[in-house]
A and B are shown apart, each in its own frame.
Chain A
Amino acid sequence: AQSVTQLDSQVPVFEEAPVELRCNYSSSVSVYLFWYVQYPNQGLQLLLKYLSGSTLVESINGFEAEFNKSQTSFHLRKPSVHISDTAEYFCAVSERTDKLIFGTGTRLQVFP
């Protein structure tokens, strides 16, 4: 069975500092990996995805994640965060058209 572990429930960081949100997964088959962001009182927005090909994927707002098969990880990074990045971030895994399995989420709090 698939599972996703997000070890950090909360990550406080100052504005313009770098951040890494950790995600590890377990699966016996090839998977797709995703990061979703949830702003307060809003739905889930896809931030970035790994389906195949290059192991480094990037979003339009400066986030990137690297798929590491040997470590079964898909950590999310940003070199310089903004106040507006404050949100809940969910890592998720799926097998193609299968259901998404979500981690417990990491609350990123950016302070001025």
Chain B
Amino acid sequence: EPEVTQTPSHQVTQMGQEVILRCVPISNHLYFYWYRQILGQKVEFLVSFYNNEISEKSEIFDDQFSVERPDGSNFTLKIRSTKLEDSAMYFCASSTGTEQFFGPGTRLTVL
């Protein structure tokens, strides 16, 4: 059964450093999303991506964040200068237009 994959599973970084979180969506999906979940809190929407451009972004998704689909298979989330409050689990999801399938997540720890 096809699934969404994410790498790395855990990323530790120093405050101010850049991180790139990678996702491989399900191959025939057209809609891509990033969400995050701060420990003990609910899952929050960050950004949606369709037809090679951002279709919607939340207030959280400020200028420090960017997304890219560089090669038709990967979907990346970049945080340019990490802050302590960026520590969270980041989930990628993909969809054909109805239900979204989630990856296992990347736990980002900012020290």
Taking Cβ atoms with an 8 Å cutoff, the residues of A that contact B are 32, 34, 36, 42-46, 49, 51, 90, 92, 94, 96-105
Instruction: List the A side residues contacting B41 at CB < 8 Å.
Output: 104
Contact A99 B97 (CB under 8 A): no
**Shortest beta-carbon distance from B57 to chain A in Å:** 9
Extra contacts, 4 of them, besides A96-B98, A99-B45 (Cβ < 8 A), are: A45-B102, A46-B100, A100-B33, A103-B42
Contact A43 B105 (CB under 8 A): yes
Instruction: List the B side residues contacting A36 at CB < 8 Å.
Output: 102
CB under 8 Å from chain A, chain B span 31-88: 31, 33, 35, 41-45, 48, 50, 56, 58
State which of A51, A90, A101 has its C-beta within 8 Å of the C-beta of B45. A101
Query: If the complex has contacts A45-B102, A97-B31, are A102 and B42 also in contact, measured as CB distance less than 8 A?
Result: yes
State which of A32, A46, A90 has its C-beta within 8 Å of the C-beta of B43. A90
**Shortest beta-carbon distance from A37 to chain B in Å:** 11
**Shortest beta-carbon distance from A79 to chain B in Å:** 25
CB under 8 Å from chain A, chain B span 20-37: 31, 33, 35
**Shortest beta-carbon distance from A6 to chain B in Å:** 9
Contact B56 A46 (CB under 8 A): no
Query: In the complex, what distance in Å separates the CA atom of A14 from the CA atom of B25?
Result: 38
Contact B43 A44 (CB under 8 A): yes
Instruction: List the A side residues contacting B95 at CB < 8 Å.
Output: 97
Contact B50 A34 (CB under 8 A): no
Query: In the complex, what distance in Å separates the CA atom of A36 from the CA atom of B102?
Result: 10
Contact B101 A46 (CB under 8 A): yes
Instruction: List the B side residues contacting A100 at CB < 8 Å.
Output: 33, 35, 43, 45, 93, 100
Instruction: List the A side residues contacting B97 at CB < 8 Å.
Output: 96-97
Query: In the complex, what distance in Å separates the CA atom of A98 from the CA atom of B58?
Result: 12
Query: In the complex, what distance in Å separates the CA atom of A72 from the CA atom of B50?
Result: 29
Contact A34 B43 (CB under 8 A): no
Contact B102 A44 (CB under 8 A): yes
Contact B105 A98 (CB under 8 A): no
Contact B104 A102 (CB under 8 A): no
